[in-house]
Structure 1
Amino acid sequence: MNTLMYRARTQGLLVLSLALVISLSSCESFLEEQPSTLIDSDYIYTTEEGLKSGVVSLYKFNRDRYDQSTEDFMGATLMSSRSDLAFSRTGYTGLMGRYQRGVSPVDQGANFVSSLFWKHFYNITNKATEIINAAEAIEDIDEDARNTILAEARFFRANSYFYLYRMFNNIYVTTETVTVDNAFDVVNDKSSEEEIFALLNSDLDFAVEHLEWTGVFGRVTKGTAKHLKAKVAMWEGDWEEAKSQALDVIESPDSPHSLVSSTAAVFDGDRNHSEALFVIQAQDDLLGGGNNTMLNANYVTQYFQIAGIEANAEQGGRGFSRILPNLYLQGLLADDPNDTRDDNTYFRLKYYYTSGDRIGEQVDDYAPITDLDNPSPTFARYYQRQHPSCIKFAQEDDNPNSYLNRSNIMVYRLAETYLIAAEAIMRSSGDPLPYINAVRERANAAPLTVVDEQAILDERARELAFEGQRWFTLKRMGQEVIDRQITSFAGDGEFFPDNLGEKDPRTNWRSHYINWPIAQIDLDLLGPGYPQNDGY
């Protein structure tokens, strides 16, 4: 295990240790002196309750990426900014989304990625491994409790390693607990794909076997593990396995999951419904309920700066136009005029005056470029103040006068499971139409009669845009697909001429960006022969 992993693990352990000492000790025992060396995993993970508290900490650590305020909460939005569906307007996230930063091991963007992704997910894998190994060794524990602890911890380890692999490719996996004896061992080489997928599948098989179909809202379940298992199988090209796992979540008589009745209901309320497979929870006025973030604000335009319209939750709340649905995505949504996903459910296309002489009328102050030969003189203001917005992350109880809000975040949901099933069936055997059309018909869009790779890609765009999945989908489908999609559609090209040249993601894209650079600050903690990704 390398020094980087050790440091990340140690920081998390100190936080957890303090919390456990406070919660598990009486006032009297809390005042008793204890040598600091006793506050380690051997001290914490020797009881069932200690292990369960460790599992709870994994949920907290997993949420940290969304809670970190780095560059307007970039950790929550970065992956969405780097896709063929986004117009990344401004801010440091804009620089990253346009491939101006985060493209070298030594630039500041790579350092941000190191903290928000590389260290973040290795912290979780190290913590999960520590819990797993302790739970396997502990005696005098109820076996069902042991298996549940192991199942949740192994899910988080698999989920984190899977994220790291998809971003960085050259990663190192281990099932060894960090100890004083091995903390400063140097890792000299990446793990093979065979090693990585063997661990992912082993962890997820255990999670699938020992998790229940239903549980406390926000905790992972059998359906969550099966969904992730299907995603892993897609990356392996094991279409039969992906199909089997996805169909089990959709069709098993024991599965509690079903698509909610309308697109309006998917992101309504606290996201606690039959479609949700994994939701990161954040609750107001609760110790440990999470921090306020600018997740929603990144995706909503500054319509409230127009005279006669105030920020309000119905129209998306208060935003600052960082990441917007580009013309390509808008065109996909407009393919079917009856599609409800652009009808103020997933996206808001129009805004309305809330005060003055024109209350209730549509805002029409600015115009985009529609004719390249006669460009609109107000296109820049249009993108800043009147552009369509993604409103998936707005909640009814948000404070419309603040960029900072706290809301539950949908990570995995059943609509993606349906689209996984459709693609896996298309690439193996059977009829994919019922599964892709279930998603379309829920959105009141006309059913398809033929399914191919582009149909899958397009439907995933309409349904899952800005949920953090798109860039990974492009990469999984291969170099030709990601090269084509980014160079053809990222940003808005000539329709936003201010972003041509060095700000144009289509021009800036290089094929080796299919793997993120490992930051030099992380490579320096690895062995001298540890491989950087090609091209960097």
Structure 2
Amino acid sequence: MKYLKQHFKTSRFLVGILSIGLAISCTDLEIEETDSRQSPDFQGVGDVDLFIDGIYNSLNGIIGNQADFFALSEVTTDAALVPTRGSDWGDNGIWRQLHQHDWRTDHQYITNTFNQWNQTQFAASQALSDLSNPNEQQRAQASFLRALGVFFVLDNFGQVPIRDPEASLLDNPEVITDQEAVDYIIADLNTAIAGLPALGPGSGVGTATSDHARASKAAARYLLAKVLLNKHIYVGGEPTTADMQQVIDLVDAITAEGYAIEDDYFDIFRNELDDETIWFIPTSVGNRIWNGLHYNQAPEIAGGGWNGFATLAEYYDMFEGDANVNTPGSGQEERRGYVPTEGLPAGSFDGATDSNDDGYADGSNVGFGFLVGQQYDYDGSALNDRGGNPLTFKRDFTDGNGNPSLINNSESTGIRVQKYNARYGGFVEHEIFFRYSDAYLMKAEAMFRAGQDPTAMMNVLRGLREATPFTSVTEQDILDERGRELYAEFWRRNDMIRFGQYTRGWELKADSQIGNENRNLFPIPASQIILNPNLTQNPGY
């Protein structure tokens, strides 16, 4: 079982926090007395800029990871699964439980996600304290970060523990839910919008000091639009016309800054300037590349892939093109990508490397999008798996007896997903988190929910993606279009819940969990309920 190690990212966060004597507990939102300078009473943040940098740096580990938040957002849906292949990726069933919706209150990735986003929002509250005396720009950045943390805790768990950093450490954090939590997020985002800079697109590439590695007005508007689009899920009832109009207005404000849809889909995910990126995280994209590739693919870059993650055939089938072939010219839409039948010559594109001097650009035999069927070496010969069998990625997940299963899979079961490509660097620190096409589709959805017709708007996107235009648009069309545009970008669970499809059946999901609405929220970690009696366990757990 291989993981991209995250310890160096974690250490950057700890430097930012511990250097000013504030260690934030992941487990109970209390300040730990782990530093000799720690006072039993909060005295304020000494260097607010450094502290906020530490919070941003902590996001590198959250977003760059393949477990925890990413796993909850994607592996619990129809978009991703991690079968056990022999002894590889077994991990005591931790991945299988997510896809099958068979998790318990002590699932480690659920606990980690709860802790991480609560840590984010509490650290932001420390920066916002009057004792820290933040200036307007610092207040805007910290307000955005707190809103981000509270939003993801609310979205995943339905209740948010809020601690005033100036309160007694003996007091249990209060818990906010529903409308109160939504209002809390909206207030912070309004503060952020007022104080953050208006950057416009293309202000920086993948470094921690780039403008778009920090929040802007567009990022805050994007997040506010996301909150309002999902508001009825959190507070109950149906979407209101007023909320949907505000979503439309927020996206229009982002558009007015110059953000636009890029017409070369996979170029969006390179470390280059573009008109799409609203906010990227300067964290390695290695997990997105290597966790799905086979061990024998691109070994000259990172020793080959880790052969874990895959997607369901039903998800792949949402895209136009031949169901069994995805080589160039198979009638596929752009977003489905393609499987190259050979590599490219060294030097054939900017940034190409040839580390083993074989005349081919490293990683150029690895495809884009969805990898299905036979995979090829640089010279056009068929790749084999470790047993010498043709490396043919199959649509199905079966055990050694040919039965549908998440265990005892071979090395080649499952269609693989490659949104970021190894040919541009195996561990480039540039992962897209907020982008314009998502905002564009949020506007289309808001129009639909407000009784307007978004068909023409959605056809602009489909035209750029080389897909057949719609004659009309249904709710299912909107969900599917979001799935085609935003796969592997953290939003599938959120989207499926909003469209009422997270509890439906899909391949290899546990029959006992189909229709179980309680799974729309994850359990509050058992350890947290012991620590804070103001928290109550979510129904069904």
- The bucket for the TM-score relative to the shorter chain is 0.7 to 0.9
Aligned to 2:293: 301
CA shift for structure 1 position 513: 1.2
**Amino acid paired to 1:482:** Y
Residues 1:159 and 2:155 aligned together: no
CA shift for structure 1 position 88: 2.9
Query: For the residues of structure 1 that align with 2:224 and 2:303, how far apart are their CA atoms?
Result: 36
Residues 1:445 and 2:467 aligned together: yes
- Other structure's SS at 1:396 match: helix
Query: For the residues of structure 2 that align with 1:517 and 1:460, how far apart are their CA atoms?
Result: 27
Query: For the residues of structure 2 that align with 1:346 and 1:366, how far apart are their CA atoms?
Result: 16
Tell me the TM-score normalised to structure 1 length: 0.74
CA contact (8 A) 1:256 1:274 kept: yes
CA shift for structure 1 position 38: 6.6
Aligned to 2:191: 206
Relative to structure 1, the CA distance from residue 356 to residue 35 in structure 2 (aligned partners, 3 Å threshold; closer, same or farther) is: closer
Relative to structure 1, the CA distance from residue 77 to residue 152 in structure 2 (aligned partners, 3 Å threshold; closer, same or farther) is: same
Query: For the residues of structure 1 that align with 2:466 and 2:299, how far apart are their CA atoms?
Result: 29
Select which of 255, 258, 264 maps to 2:266. 264
CA contact (8 A) 1:347 1:389 kept: yes
Aligned to 1:390: 417
Aligned to 1:358: 381
CA shift for structure 1 position 52: 1.7
CA shift for structure 1 position 472: 1.1
Query: For the residues of structure 2 that align with 1:390 and 1:428, how far apart are their CA atoms?
Result: 34
CA shift for structure 1 position 263: 1.1
Q: Deviations over 1:304-357 (max 9, x none)?
A: 2xxxx65467xx993333321211111101369341111234333355432678
Query: For the residues of structure 1 that align with 2:104 and 2:528, how far apart are their CA atoms?
Result: 13
Select which of 114, 120, 134 maps to 1:118. 114
- Other structure's SS at 2:310 match: strand
Select which of 330, 334, 346 maps to 2:320. 334
Query: For the residues of structure 1 that align with 2:393 and 2:123, how far apart are their CA atoms?
Result: 51
Aligned to 1:318: 304
Over the aligned positions, Cα root-mean-square deviation in angstroms equals 3.7
CA shift for structure 1 position 161: 0.6
Query: For the residues of structure 2 that align with 1:458 and 1:292, how far apart are their CA atoms?
Result: 25
**Amino acid paired to 1:147:** E
CA contact (8 A) 2:278 2:434 kept: yes
**Amino acid paired to 1:87:** L
CA contact (8 A) 2:101 2:519 kept: no
Select which of 405, 421, 430 maps to 1:408. 430
Select which of 137, 140, 148 maps to 1:148. 137
Q: Deviations over 1:348-398 (max 9, x none)?
A: 33554326783799x95547478x9xx979999996336432111334343
Query: For the residues of structure 2 that align with 1:367 and 1:261, how far apart are their CA atoms?
Result: 28
CA contact (8 A) 2:44 2:131 kept: no
Query: For the residues of structure 2 that align with 1:369 and 1:275, how far apart are their CA atoms?
Result: 32
The aligned runs of 1:122-271 (5 Å cut-off) are 122-134=118-130, 137=133, 146-173=135-162, 176=164, 178-179=165-166, 182-187=168-173, 190-214=175-199, 216-236=211-231, 237-250=239-252, 254-267=256-269, 269-270=270-271
Q: Which runs of 5+ in 2 are unaligned?
A: 1-10, 22-34, 204-210, 232-238, 323-330, 339-367
CA contact (8 A) 1:302 1:386 kept: no
- Count residues with an aligned counterpart: 450
Query: For the residues of structure 1 that align with 2:421 and 2:268, how far apart are their CA atoms?
Result: 12
- Other structure's SS at 2:97 match: helix
Aligned to 1:77: 71
CA shift for structure 1 position 76: 3.6
Tell me the TM-score normalised to structure 2 length: 0.73
Q: Deviations over 1:205-260 (max 9, x none)?
A: 11122222206131111111111111100112245444444454456674131111
Higher helix share: 1
Aligned to 2:454: 432
Residues 435-444 or 344-353, more deviating: 344-353
- Other structure's SS at 1:79 match: helix
CA contact (8 A) 1:419 1:460 kept: yes
